[in-house]
Amino acid sequence: MSILINQYTRLLVQGITGRDGSFHALKMREYGTLVVGGTSPGKGGSTVDGIPVFNTMYEAIEQTKANASIIFVPARYAADAIMEAADAGIELIICISEGIPTLDVIKAYRFTQLKGAMLIGPNCPGLISPERSLAGILPGSIFKKGNIGVISRSGTLTYEIVYHLTAHGMGQSTAIGMGGDPVVGLYFRELLEMFQNDPETEAIVMIGEIGGNAEELAAKYIQEHVTKPVVAFIAGQSAPPGKQMGHAGAIISGNSGSAKEKITALAEAGIQIAQEPSEVPLLLKGVISR
């Protein structure tokens, strides 16, 4: 098994006629994803290398029976795209777009919750269930089918740590880049629960970074509810307070959100913490063999 996506996921690409949308639609299809269509207002009836284009999500879902969508539209339209997908009945929405105003994300995320949809992102690389389905911009070649679940706030760190996992023969059940904005959809707690309930996932890698308190809350949840081994890596250990480091959400504010606080909370929950990305598979081997 895997979580969220598999070989049966039927994916729509919102913004498919744009540069990024068309490029990644073909990359995802090449990987094996069932890319069943896309949307681009005013361009309905056309195709992108054989993939049908529709004017609206309502029309696209009616014609394709899609259950997931991925968004490649400019930031000023992205919140509306999220809400259109949720209103049309999409179950899983992945928003790649970055630079969306936080208040717009809050409104769109709340709307998806009211509609019973799940949101990943925005400003995220998406997710992959190796050898089954790719919904995002992740480099599929470094992933390998296996039983390690990966949850990450950072796209590039996901790639680096997955590279090390694969090099050590440790494949992945599903890998998810949640996004680095101050407000995103599915986060550590929800994804940890999914991996805990997934019979194929044997262990979990959690990649965090400075800013917010998501890792501290995740540590508490793991301590109380997760029985599978967890290894964590926290980025930004040398970041100065008050300075944004890369992601909009990666900023230490006052006395909260520091790497030290996160590492302390995770360690107190009994979670193994890697000091370098390359240590993750070594620590995993240790906790899995116990």
Query: Is 247 considered catalytic here?
Result: yes
- The CA distance from 4 to 230, in Å, is 20
Site of tokens 């498919």 = 16
Of all helices (H) and strands (E), which one includes residue 177? strand 172-177
| DSSP 8-class letter at 240 | P
Is the bond preceding residue 122 a cis peptide, omega within 30 degrees? yes
- The CA distance from 175 to 145, in Å, is 10
Out of 164, 168, 225, 247, which one is annotated catalytic?
247
Rg over CA atoms, the chain: 19
- If DSSP codes are grouped into helix, strand and coil, which group holds residue 185? coil
Which amino acid type is present at position 287? V
Alpha-helix runs per DSSP H in the chain? 19-31, 57-64, 75-88, 102-115, 155-167, 188-197, 214-225, 259-268, 280-288
Q: Which residues pair with 54 in a beta bridge?
A: 39
| DSSP 8-class letter at 73 | S
Structural contact between residues 98 and 122, judged by C-beta atoms closer than 8 angstroms: yes
Structural contact between residues 185 and 261, judged by C-beta atoms closer than 8 angstroms: no
Q: How do strand 47-48 and strand 51-54 relate by DSSP bridges?
A: antiparallel
Q: Which residues pair with 108 in a beta bridge?
A: none
Which amino acid type is present at position 52? P
Residues marked as catalytic: 247
